[in-house]
Amino acid sequence: MSVLVGAILAAVVAYIIYNDARKLATRGVRVAGMSPMAWFWLSFLILIVGGPLYLIKRSGAIRNAGGGFPRGTRLPPAGWHPDPDDPQLLRWWDGSRWTDHTSIANLPPPPDL
């Protein structure tokens, strides 16, 4: 549902930009040398692609290189550590980022990778 709302909002904003560019074009003014339709598609694509990427990054769905450790702290050495997303799991930390390798926390961890 929120994707549909976002797409509709992106289309509305893109139409507003298109309409403003069209009004200028009727006066013989081209904005940055582009036609009003080019402005519509450019703004629409930026909103449709950039909006979701921003929301995904903001939600934390993409794991950052710091692994969720507070900024300014020394990163732990490579090894099995408590999973930042699920306390019931251990996740392999390669020294700079989390990997996809997991193990159940109450079992002995598998050997180092």
pLDDT digit string (tens) for the chain, length 113 residues: 566 777 777 777 777 777 777 777 777 766 667 777 777 777 777 777 777 777 666 655 445 445 566 666 777 888 888 888 888 888 888 888 888 888 888 877 667 66
- If DSSP codes are grouped into helix, strand and coil, which group holds residue 8? helix
- If DSSP codes are grouped into helix, strand and coil, which group holds residue 10? helix
Q: What is the pLDDT of residue 1?
A: 54
Going from the C-alpha of 50 to that of each of 4, 19, 38, 56, 99, the distances in angstroms are: 15, 21, 17, 10, 26
Burial class (CB in 10 A: 0-12, 13-18, 19+), 103: middle
Q: What is the pLDDT of residue 48?
A: 75
Full-model pTM: 0.36
Q: What is the pLDDT of residue 54?
A: 72
